[in-house]
């Protein structure tokens, strides 16, 4: 007896609109046959010289225990990230399993210099560990082009996202549903009960909340959609609920308009709307924050100009380190203080246009002003930051990166960043000078 494929059934049910979309599960070759492994070697050196003269009272008190030991944060470490990604079993419903083990080793950090750069794991007394590791796994199911994942995983959405900006990546535990049944459209749904920070060694610390010190909510839920049906436009709409703390909505759009051969104009818009909900564990929140970055690309050159605005009496806050898609969230500051307005100017150069593929340079400058934290909830989770009135600050970042293009060392990457941040006493960020050097060498393949 002839059987119908999942794709054929969907066509019968959904009509001609699905003709151009093949089912992902129809191409499943097997659990082992489609499995892959990867091993990322990363060496990271991070040096930060802190200056406390312009630090607000609240932030100064928060950093006092570490600052009394040293105003220098210097950590050099080696990280190893091993990942296994299985294929899916054949059939109407495919099953699979992904697993990972992440480990970090201290190379040099002593004399009170470690801990403040948050590269290494720390013990209960705040002392850096010589070695720290963690691992996890994800069980996954796939029907047609819809995938359900449950376990510890890396997530990438504008409202809940796993950062990989230090030695080891951030992860989250829960389930995530991703569906690509409709042309040019991806649907998301997720429920998480914890997130694990980049230098964490355990999975029982609740959620990583970036600014509030209020009592944590016990779950995080999200739904969203991404669409690329319009030529040149990538649009996203997400909604999230951080239990008994806030409800957050996100609208994002990146539009690319070709002007001529080798010339493009790119607009990147991000808008977040956040309001307290339930028990309001972090206090009253009524915050609208948005950014717009316009970039003109001319061959190897990119010129960018951006603006960002926070409309609210609390800073823009987010759960997990990677859930901020604002254009002025840069190396040392997010420029997200209450009522803050900030602008950015940047320049990027891709040396492939000059015969050196893999070599890129970038420079940016961000200036923020108008900070006013005098109207925030006195019993909320942000009062400790000590924002005043008339806060202002600036940041300058310079970066160079080179990726080997061929040979035995193909994909070996070197990146160097120098960042400087300065501000007055009415804003809550540390004055700092940062030097960051990262060397990465990825390996991988099929089984």
Q: Looking at residue 423, which CATH number applies to its domain? A: 2.40.160.10
Structure confidence at residue 151 (pLDDT): 97
Residue 20 domain-assigned?
A: no
For the chain, the three-class secondary structure string (H helix, E strand, C coil) is CCCCCHHHHHHHHHHHHHCCCCCCHHHCCCCCCCCEEEEEEEEEEEEEEEECCCCCHHHHHHHHHHHCCCCEEEEEEEEEEEEEECCCCCCCEEEEEEEEEEEEEEEECCCCCCCCCCCCCECCCCCECCEEEEEEEEEEEEECCEEEEEEEECCECCCCECCCCCCCCCEEEEEEEEECCCCCEEEEEEEEEEEECCCCCCCCCCCCECCCCCCCCCCEEEEEEEECCCCCEEEEEEEEEECCCEEEEEEEEEEEEEEECCEEEEEEEEEEEEEECCCCCCCCCEEEEEEEEEEEEECCEEEEEEEEEEECCCCCCCECCCCCCCCCCCCCCCCCCCCCEEEEEEEEEEHHHHCCCCEEEEEEEEEEEEEECCCCCCCCCCHHHCCCEEEEEEEEEEEEEEECCCCCCCCCEEEEEEEEEEECCCCCCCEEEEEEEEEEEEEEEEC
Structure confidence at residue 202 (pLDDT): 79
Q: Which range, of 60-64, 121-125, 249-253, averages the lowest pLDDT?
A: 60-64
For the chain, what is the mean pLDDT? 90
Residue 9 domain-assigned?
A: no
Structural domain of 343: 30-446
Asked if the model's pLDDT at residue 60 lies above 60, the reply is no
Structure confidence at residue 108 (pLDDT): 83
**What is the pLDDT averaged over residues 70-84?**
90
Residue 12 domain-assigned?
A: no
Residue 407 domain-assigned?
A: yes
Residue 8 domain-assigned?
A: no
Q: How many CA atoms lie within 13 A of 234 on its CB side?
A: 7
94 vs 149: CA distance, rounded Å: 12
% pLDDT > 70, the chain: 89
Residue-wise pLDDT tens digits, 397-432? 999 999 999 999 999 999 999 999 999 999 999 899
414 vs 417: CA distance, rounded Å: 10
Residue-wise pLDDT tens digits, 202-230? 777 899 999 999 999 999 999 999 999 99
Residue-wise pLDDT tens digits, 426-442? 999 989 999 999 999 99
Structure confidence at residue 127 (pLDDT): 75
Q: Which range, of 24-28, 147-151, 345-349, 366-370, averages the lowest pLDDT?
A: 24-28
Residue 99 domain-assigned?
A: yes
**What is the pLDDT averaged over residues 107-120?**
66
Residue 236 domain-assigned?
A: yes
What is the number of structural domains in the chain?
A: 1
Instruction: Tell me whether strands 171-179 and 185-196 are parallel, antiparallel or unpaired.
Output: antiparallel
> Which band of pLDDT confidence, cut at 50, 70 and 90, is reported for residue 52?
low
Global confidence as pTM: 0.90
> Which band of pLDDT confidence, cut at 50, 70 and 90, is reported for residue 307?
very high
Asked if the model's pLDDT at residue 372 lies above 90, the reply is yes
Asked if the model's pLDDT at residue 258 lies above 90, the reply is yes
Asked if the model's pLDDT at residue 281 lies above 50, the reply is yes
Find out whether 132 and 77 touch, Cβ atoms under 8 Å. Answer: no
Structure confidence at residue 50 (pLDDT): 87
27 vs 11: CA distance, rounded Å: 16
Structure confidence at residue 201 (pLDDT): 82
Q: How many CA atoms lie within 13 A of 229 on its CB side?
A: 11
Residue 17 domain-assigned?
A: no
């Amino acid at each position: 007896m002839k059987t119908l494929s999942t794709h054929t059934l969907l066509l019968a049910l959904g009509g001609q609109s699905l003709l151009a979309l093949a089912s992902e599960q129809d191409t499943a070759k097997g659990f082992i046959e489609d499995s892959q492994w990867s091993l990322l070697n990363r060496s990271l050196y991070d040096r930060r010289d802190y200056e406390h003269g312009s630090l607000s009272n609240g932030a100064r008190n928060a950093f006092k225990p570490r600052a009394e030991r040293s105003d220098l944060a210097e950590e050099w470490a080696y990280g190893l990230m091993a990942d296994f990604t299985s294929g899916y079993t054949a059939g109407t419903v495919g099953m699979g399993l992904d697993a990972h083990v992440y480990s970090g080793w201290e190379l040099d950090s002593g004399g009170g210099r470690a801990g403040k750069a948050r590269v290494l794991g720390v013990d209960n007394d705040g002392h850096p560990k010589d070695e720290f590791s963690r691992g996890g796994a994800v069980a996954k199911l796939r029907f047609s082009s819809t995938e359900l994942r449950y376990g510890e995983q890396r997530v990438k959405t504008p409202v809940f996202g796993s950062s990989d900006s230090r030695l080891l990546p951030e992860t989250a535990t829960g389930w995530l549903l991703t569906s690509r049944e409709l042309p040019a459209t991806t649907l998301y749904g997720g429920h998480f009960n914890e997130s694990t920070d980049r230098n964490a060694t355990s999975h029982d610390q609740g959620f990583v909340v970036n600014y509030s010190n209020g009592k944590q909510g016990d779950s995080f839920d999200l739904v969203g959609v991404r669409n690329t049906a319009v030529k040149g436009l990538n649009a996203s709409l997400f909604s999230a609920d951080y239990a008994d703390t806030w409800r957050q909505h996100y609208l994002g759009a990146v539009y690319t308009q070709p002007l001529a051969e080798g010339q493009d104009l790119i607009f990147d818009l991000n808008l977040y709307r956040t309001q307290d909900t339930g028990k309001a564990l972090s206090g009253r929140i009524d915050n609208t924050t948005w950014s717009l970055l316009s970039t003109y690309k001319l061959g190897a050159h990119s010129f960018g100009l951006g603006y960002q605005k926070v409309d609210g009496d609390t800073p823009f806050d987010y759960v997990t380190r990677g859930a901020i898609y604002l254009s002025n969230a840069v190396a040392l500051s997010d420029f997200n203080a209450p009522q803050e307005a900030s602008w950015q100017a940047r320049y990027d150069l891709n040396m492939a246009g000059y015969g050196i593929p893999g070599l890129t340079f970038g420079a940016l400058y961000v200036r923020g002003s108008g900070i006013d934290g005098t109207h925030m909830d006195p019993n909320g989770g942000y009062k400790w930051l000590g924002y005043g009135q008339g806060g202002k600050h600036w940041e300058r970042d310079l970066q160079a990166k080179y990726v080997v293009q061929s040979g035995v060392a193909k994909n070996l990457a070197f990146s160097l960043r120098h960042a400087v941040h300065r501000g007055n006493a009415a804003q809550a960020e540390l004055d700092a000078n940062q030097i960051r050097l990262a060397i990465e060498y990825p390996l991988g393949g099929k089984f």
